Amino acid sequence: MAEIRTVGVIGAGQMGNGIAHVSALAGYEVVLTDVSEAALAKGLAAIEANMTRQVARQVITPDDLKAALKRIRPSADIKAHAASDLVIEAATEKRELKEQIFRAVSEVVPPHAFLATNTSSISITRLASVTDRPERFIGLHFMNPVPLMKLVEVIRGLNTDQETFETAITYAKRIGKTTTNAEDYPAFIVNRVLMPMINEAVYTLYEGVGNVESIDTAMRLGANHPMGPLQLADFIGLDTCLSIMQVLHDGLADTKYRPCPLLVKFVEAGWLGKKSGRGFYDYSGDHPVPTR
């Protein structure tokens, strides 16, 4: 089985910087790339802030923090992945963008390198098909926030070979994650179950069955969920939720996966949740306030 020394991460957003964070703490050299220098700076700042919180909670030591930060090398040039053994794409949940990234990175990485995607819903087989190594391509779907959530869904494409699968499992275990194996069907396991629930919560709001506060309170206290579905949707990003529902609807051709018109309207308005400051809650004040 191949040994991974350097992990490349493409995308310095919330998922990408989280993957870089846990990889660096686990002792891997990390190359973190993004097309935006501003996004890189923001991502590195988030990593340091999150590690500082871990130090405060005595999860890691100050020396762990310093050593991990030194292992992360940021770059705006995809050619920085020329020495990466494993490259994980963590870009926006848009198939065309991901395919463009994988075409470009395939020309850069060494022949032995493995490629992985953090997609939460898109076909692994389809993404692998645009690369020069579909047998060395796999899905590694991390949960958000990456440093806190223990699960990684591991999804094999049609061409993924056994060495790639075993290498992915070994990497996930080294960074302290539990893995679950999912087949390459739209949205895999977690989002196949979770997103229709969130979409139904939006329908419940859309149809006037309850307001934002009553729906979230009902699911927190009535179903013992740690977070209400609408609050969770804001945390995930309403654009991401919509993208996953569209993948489910297109891939499975079942009307039960039709995105709620209200979810579509919020995304069209730019109300994307916490990251945009407004979604089912308004985050402009000290405490989130329901918008409906």
**Residues designated catalytic:** 120, 141, 153, 191
How far apart CA 183 and CA 24 sit, in angstroms, is 29
Nearest to 124 by CA among 112, 133, 137, 142: 137
61 Cβ contact partners less than 8 Å away, ≥ 6 residues apart: 55
224 Cβ contact partners less than 8 Å away, ≥ 6 residues apart: none
How far apart CA 244 and CA 22 sit, in angstroms, is 25
Q: What are phi and psi of 29, to 5 degrees?
A: -75, 140
* Residue 82 tokens, joined: 């020329």
Nearest to 186 by CA among 177, 176, 196: 196
Does the CA dihedral 274-99-109-158 come out positive or negative?
positive
How far apart CA 261 and CA 263 sit, in angstroms, is 5
- Report in angstroms the alpha-carbon separations of 157 from 95, 118, 164, 181, 208: 15, 13, 11, 12, 41
Q: Largest alpha-carbon pair distance within the chain?
A: 56
107 Cβ contact partners less than 8 Å away, ≥ 6 residues apart: none
How far apart CA 195 and CA 52 sit, in angstroms, is 32
How far apart CA 272 and CA 266 sit, in angstroms, is 7
Each residue of 31-40: b (16+ CB within 10 Å) or e? bbbbeeeebb
Identity at 169, one-letter amino acid code:
I
